[in-house]
Structure 1
Amino acid sequence: MVSSGNNYKEKVSQLISWGHWFSFFNIIAAMLLGTRYIVHSEWPDTLFGQLYLAFSWVGHFGFLVFGFYILILFPASFLIPSQRLMRLFAVLVGTIGLTALLLDTHAYESLDLHLSPLVWDLLLSGERTELNARWQYLFITVPVIFLLQLILSEWLWRKLRKLTRKHVGVPIAMVFGICFVSSHLMYIWADAKLYRPITVQRSNFPLSYPMTAKSFMEKHGLLDRQEYTKKLNAQGIESSEQIRYPLEKLTFGDPGTGQNLLVIMVDGLRSDMVDSETMPYLTAFARQNLQYSNHYSSSNDDTSGLFGLFYGLPSSYINSIRSANTPPLVLDTLQKRGYKFGIFSGAGLNDNPLYRDAIFFGQQLPDADKDEHSDQRAIAEWTNWLKAGAEDKQPWFSFIELTAVERFEEGGDYAQKFEPAIGTGSVNSKDTTRILKNSYRNAAYHVDEQLIAIFDQLVENNMMDNTIVLITANHGTEFNETGTNSWGADSNYSQYQLKVPMIIHWPGSVASVTNRLTSHLDVVPTLMESMLSAATPASTYSSGVNLFTSSSKRRWILAGNEDDIVMIQPQTTTVVDKYGNYRVYNEDYKRMESAKPKLSTLMQAMHELKRFNQNED
């Protein structure tokens, strides 16, 4: 076919026609590569979910490739007069596009991330890892892709007249268009109905942004926002995957120690409050028992911090656990061994979906008293429960949640040791930080006095020698120590919001202070191995290690929530969001602009976040 004699209009027309067919075959190639995303992702378990997968697979890659044609090749057809030069340009664009897609599929399989600044930085870091080696081998395929694109380009140019006469362009375009529109309409419905088999596929493909229309539907009376929010809070499984927990069937060496277990959760208490001035009683108690002075919660918020403590897993698994109503292995084992359960709170637990649907699923929970938030009431109820069963030989597990510290701004009927504070009458508006922190310390001092009543009861009932007592917090509380206008919790991952007390009374143990990095994720392996005599390796049911394994040298511990991965190391804290963007901070939580996470460390953390997923080998 010779085009040198054609006029400009005819040349452009031929190139546009050729470009359509060239894009079509590249769409097919992209779809074939896209099957790697499908294989690696969770397979939908309903026919409707599978239908959406098919529509989105065809529609998304059709739109993606054709979009690049419209943005790049279509205008180039008018600007590049030579058909050979234009075809070479298209071959280069196609080669780059398919190579990027191939690299993205590998990133998705290896890190569960699409191509992002983080992924590129890690690849170009020069660190020698297995992943880097595999990525370098992928570039060997570039000449192959380029050669195939050249062959396709030449074949299409020679067959252009015959292909044009078939008049199949419009039907093909309609198929891709119908699939694209249908997939987005299906997602709009699924998003409004919280239909998990579809919503879980939201980020399967690169550059995928399914449409939502909750505001439009609410405006036209098609969606009740309050009902939607209630359902979302009740389910909490919009993007969850099925989970294998534990990875293997548990085995036990013996029936365990048979000791009682008391967990005291002081909401919002940060570790530096345990000092002789603010919490003198707890400080003295810590000196006589096991104190972990460099201990971190698994998150900076209530729910994820609790989840890590009871399950020993990162918060990436929280919705999977909730959707399956799976209780923690520790509590499940205690229940199977005939332990009596007693659960108490100063604010009630029924309103917390994690307590209700997972941690204490099936247990009787205290209701919130709208007129009274009282730690004293919770301790009094626990005391009555303890005395009622004191004569029984049945071992027991008890959980006491104390809430005065987290609710320090509400004040309370207790001593105001540190002034100025809220409600003391000597408040200077220019010293807000000091006022808030003093109020917080007053609440901590009050809780310290309440702890005396708990331990007095254990002593009075001769239970101290047969009861493991664990005192900790769900997260810390910041008063803008980082200078980032951060107050309270759930706003950054500094030590003020993550570092919490971990004090353990373990009968027969020698008092000690442990300074190495420890985590909430370590509590489950400790109880399973040292109290319940689990013989199965801790790695099959937890991401933590036994707190008594002093020889363990850890380079990092995990924290974060459903959106962020946080790797805490002795000198740095690395935060990676769900889009692959990262930030590295020093010990004072000041950002280190030029610092990059180590690829091998990040790979280990990423692996831990998906190791328990059902579709992982």
Structure 2
Amino acid sequence: MVSSGNNYKETVSQLISWGHWFSFFNIIAAMLLGTRYIIHSDWPESLMGQLYMGLSWVGHFGFLVFGFYILILFPASFLIPSQRLMRLFAVLVGTIGQTILILDTHAYESLELHLSPLVWDLLLSGERTELNARWQYLFIVVPAIFLLQLFLSEWLWRKLRKLTRKHVGVPIASVFGLCFLASHLIYIWADANLYRPVTAQRSNFPLSYPMTAKSFMERHGLLDRQEYARLQEKQGVENSESIRYPLKPLSFSDKGSGQNLLVIMIDGLRSDMVTTETMPYLSAYAQQNLNFTDHYSTGNDSTLGTFGLFYGLPGAYNTSIRAEHSPPVLLETLTKRGYRFGLFSGSGFADVIYPQAIFTKDQIALAAALNPEPPHSDQQAIANMQSWLSKQTPGKPWFGYLELVSVQDYEDADHAIEATFSPSLKDTQPGEDSSIDPAELLKNSYRNAAYYVDEQLIAVFDSLMKRDMLDNTIVMITANHGTEFNETGTNSWGSGSNYSQYQLKVPLIVHWPDSQRAQISRSTSHLDIVPTLMETLLSTTTAPEFYSSGISLFDNSNKRRWVLAGDNQDIVVVQPEGTTIVDKYGNYTVYDAEYRMQDNGKPKLSTLMQVMHELKRFYQPGSAQ
């Protein structure tokens, strides 16, 4: 019995020593595979960023592999009495681990995502795609990995005594430990100081969760939270990825049609408000012109929707555009063609997207000159536009942009708007106990604002007809986003709270001289407006793919299967059967057409691949700093 006990202790001791060396060589193998992440990621330009990358590469894979040893192989050394059986078990664990790492590197190179429920679901869906085919070929290497692990296991067992005598285990462990600790300390400093060359590497490696200590530093007076938030917002723009926009210089067949262009953007107006009851004038106007009944904004808030309208790009690109101050190709081309600009807003262009991206300094100065000092209003903006129109010379083309905000500001403007739909907020006093549904009050006030804007539009078109301009003016009426009153039952109100049709679907009514009236039911997007104007108004011969993510509204041959929306955090794919939302970590949620969550819903791999390609096309390779 004593002999048996000694043999057990000796075997366990040998297996533990062997396991350390087995883990060490698997760490080296994992680091070699991990170079694929480094190659595919953007190389940091600063010395500190490069130092962090090297330290995290050594420390992270050392910790990752050794962590699995502690959790799996170390306990197994006590539970599996046979050294041969234990080594076979370790070989299987090593083979599985290295195979998963290879698969993860492939997912990172293909989708820029690590293995997640989304990636697994896509790859196991059975859908035949190029990615799936290449993924399956990777399993050919599994037998080779198994044989290498088996050889390593046997070689280490034979050389165990010789390796043990070298006494290098502690120095090796110290190197990995110091690298791991140093990388996290650097990240704590970088996170507190918003040092982009380090923080941009947060998700380079799988299962990477760098330490942060903002709360600790704030408690000890080492961090000013307000200053941190201010710098964080500023840095989000300044350190965005470099963008190539357009992808190549544009060419043109002629100087264009020379028609005037008027874009009317009604802030916050959702598409189902254009009815004979709520907006009778605009509804009648839609029936007499081109009415796109299934049109979507590029986002669920003012910034993203306005950005997509002018640039024809998904909202995810907006920070890069703002950082580089790249003007919209549409407005740049109109300027080069000699168009006179008339910019009018019921809010004085209060949204920061206008000065930061859309308009140049000269155009901002022009807008300030054309719009009076506060208080601004839609009525005043329309009066200013009428005055400006009266000064336009026939034969000289102009571009007018009118932003109306009464619908978006319906709660503040309710007291000044006649109550056509009751009960509304105007019928209740603050603090008054009312049994009326709050949603009904809000929605009726919203409809009153829409009715008010509808009446204001009459003055705009009267001015165009009075001056015989309609026959030579393209007019586009749309909105930057919709507004919800909890129709989805998810406690969502207003905008920016979800991606339902109530917040994304907006009207698009187009008056195009000499075109036949039509109601177009196929899906269209704000992404399509720029290509339409560039091709038909300005006669560009450059394909839309080089300056936009959309297609011409008049291109009936290219029927889209999905509409893209979202921002830097969420990828939103809207399809007739429902909406899929994927966050930046690869987690996804699928909703049906009524925006009800589908527990078993899964996105299609082919669709997701197309979407992710579209969200990367305009970035400069290796642009992150």
TM-score, normalised on structure 2? 0.92
CA deviations 1:35-88 (Å, max 9, x no partner) are 222222222233332222222222222221121112111222222222222221
Deviates more, 1:267-276 or 1:76-85: 76-85
**Which residue number in structure 2 is paired with residue 106 of structure 1?**
106
**Which residue number in structure 1 is paired with residue 192 of structure 2?**
192
Code of the aligned partner of 1:501: P
Code of the aligned partner of 2:400: S
**Which residue number in structure 1 is paired with residue 451 of structure 2?**
445
**Which residue number in structure 1 is paired with residue 54 of structure 2?**
54
Identity of aligned residues (%): 69
Q: Counterparts in 2 of 1:279-298, with a 5 A limit?
A: 279-298=279-298
Q: Rate the CA distance shift 1:412–1:171 in 2: closer, same or farther, 3 A.
A: farther
- SS of 2:282's equivalent in the other structure is helix
Q: Rate the CA distance shift 1:455–1:181 in 2: closer, same or farther, 3 A.
A: farther
**Which residue number in structure 2 is paired with residue 216 of structure 1?**
216
Q: Counterparts in 2 of 1:369-380, with a 5 A limit?
A: 372-380=375-383
Deviates more, 1:404-413 or 1:433-442: 404-413
Deviates more, 1:505-514 or 1:38-47: 38-47
Q: Counterparts in 2 of 1:528-567, with a 5 A limit?
A: 528-567=534-573
Shift of 1:310: 1.7
Shift of 1:255: 1.6
**Which residue number in structure 2 is paired with residue 26 of structure 1?**
26
Contact 1:475 1:500 in 2 (8 A): yes
Q: Rate the CA distance shift 1:498–1:153 in 2: closer, same or farther, 3 A.
A: same
CA distance in 2, matches of 1:564, 1:157: 50
Number of equivalent positions: 613
Root mean square deviation of aligned Cα:
2.5
Q: Rate the CA distance shift 1:220–1:361 in 2: closer, same or farther, 3 A.
A: farther
**Which residue number in structure 2 is paired with residue 458 of structure 1?**
464
Contact 1:194 1:238 in 2 (8 A): no
User: Is residue 2:417 matched to residue 1:414?
Assistant: yes
User: Is residue 2:349 matched to residue 1:349?
Assistant: yes
Shift of 1:519: 0.8
User: Is residue 2:533 matched to residue 1:527?
Assistant: yes
**Which residue number in structure 2 is paired with residue 118 of structure 1?**
118
CA distance in 2, matches of 1:370, 1:73: 73
Deviates more, 1:436-445 or 1:76-85: 76-85
- SS of 1:567's equivalent in the other structure is strand
Q: Counterparts in 2 of 1:209-358, with a 5 A limit?
A: 209-237=209-237, 240-349=240-349, 352-358=351-357
CA deviations 1:204-245 (Å, max 9, x no partner) are 211112222333333333333222222333342387322222
Shift of 1:143: 0.7
CA deviations 1:378-406 (Å, max 9, x no partner) are 22333344444x13854333322211111
Contact 2:355 2:364 in 1 (8 A): no
Contact 1:87 1:153 in 2 (8 A): yes
Contact 2:477 2:508 in 1 (8 A): yes
Q: Counterparts in 2 of 1:507-522, with a 5 A limit?
A: 507-522=513-528
Contact 2:103 2:138 in 1 (8 A): yes
Contact 1:241 1:320 in 2 (8 A): yes
User: Is residue 2:614 matched to residue 1:601?
Assistant: no
- SS of 1:471's equivalent in the other structure is strand
Contact 1:482 1:589 in 2 (8 A): yes
Code of the aligned partner of 1:357: Q
- SS of 1:248's equivalent in the other structure is coil
Contact 2:41 2:622 in 1 (8 A): no
Contact 1:232 1:238 in 2 (8 A): no
- SS of 1:528's equivalent in the other structure is helix
CA deviations 1:167-198 (Å, max 9, x no partner) are 33233223222322222232233333333322
**Which residue number in structure 1 is paired with residue 486 of structure 2?**
480
CA distance in 1, matches of 2:257, 2:225: 50
CA distance in 1, matches of 2:578, 2:518: 26
CA distance in 1, matches of 2:195, 2:372: 34
Contact 1:233 1:353 in 2 (8 A): no
Shift of 1:339: 2.8
**Which residue number in structure 2 is paired with residue 578 of structure 1?**
584
Shift of 1:361: 4.1
CA distance in 2, matches of 1:183, 1:533: 54
- SS of 1:423's equivalent in the other structure is helix
Deviates more, 1:64-73 or 1:337-346: 337-346
Structure 2 residues without counterparts, runs of 5 or longer: none
CA distance in 1, matches of 2:44, 2:107: 22
CA deviations 1:148-174 (Å, max 9, x no partner) are 111111222222222223333233223
Contact 1:489 1:497 in 2 (8 A): yes
Deviates more, 1:155-164 or 1:520-529: 155-164
Shift of 1:268: 0.9
Shift of 1:14: 2.3
Q: Rate the CA distance shift 1:450–1:236 in 2: closer, same or farther, 3 A.
A: farther
From 386, 393, 396, the equivalent of 1:383 is 386
Deviates more, 1:168-177 or 1:120-129: 168-177
From 488, 496, 509, the equivalent of 1:503 is 509
From 424, 439, 462, the equivalent of 2:427 is 424
Contact 1:200 1:238 in 2 (8 A): no
Q: Rate the CA distance shift 1:616–1:126 in 2: closer, same or farther, 3 A.
A: farther
Shift of 1:121: 1.5
Code of the aligned partner of 2:20: H
Shift of 1:437: 0.8
**Which residue number in structure 2 is paired with residue 67 of structure 1?**
67
- SS of 2:154's equivalent in the other structure is helix
TM-score, normalised on structure 1? 0.93
Contact 2:265 2:477 in 1 (8 A): yes
From 401, 404, 409, the equivalent of 2:403 is 401
Q: Rate the CA distance shift 1:60–1:393 in 2: closer, same or farther, 3 A.
A: farther
Deviates more, 1:490-499 or 1:316-325: 316-325
CA distance in 2, matches of 1:574, 1:246: 28
Shift of 1:279: 0.9
Code of the aligned partner of 1:59: G
Code of the aligned partner of 1:403: V
Contact 1:190 1:198 in 2 (8 A): yes
- SS of 1:513's equivalent in the other structure is strand
CA distance in 2, matches of 1:571, 1:153: 53
- SS of 1:610's equivalent in the other structure is coil
Code of the aligned partner of 1:541: Y
- SS of 2:519's equivalent in the other structure is strand
CA distance in 2, matches of 1:459, 1:360: 28
Shift of 1:561: 2.2
CA distance in 1, matches of 2:230, 2:378: 28
Q: Rate the CA distance shift 1:457–1:55 in 2: closer, same or farther, 3 A.
A: farther
CA distance in 1, matches of 2:428, 2:357: 44
Shift of 1:313: 1.7
Shift of 1:585: 2.1
Contact 2:238 2:323 in 1 (8 A): no
Deviates more, 1:40-49 or 1:268-277: 40-49
CA distance in 2, matches of 1:31, 1:238: 33
- SS of 1:12's equivalent in the other structure is helix
- SS of 2:615's equivalent in the other structure is helix
CA distance in 1, matches of 2:112, 2:495: 28
CA distance in 2, matches of 1:395, 1:450: 24
CA deviations 1:539-596 (Å, max 9, x no partner) are 1222111000122222111122222222222222222222222232222122333332
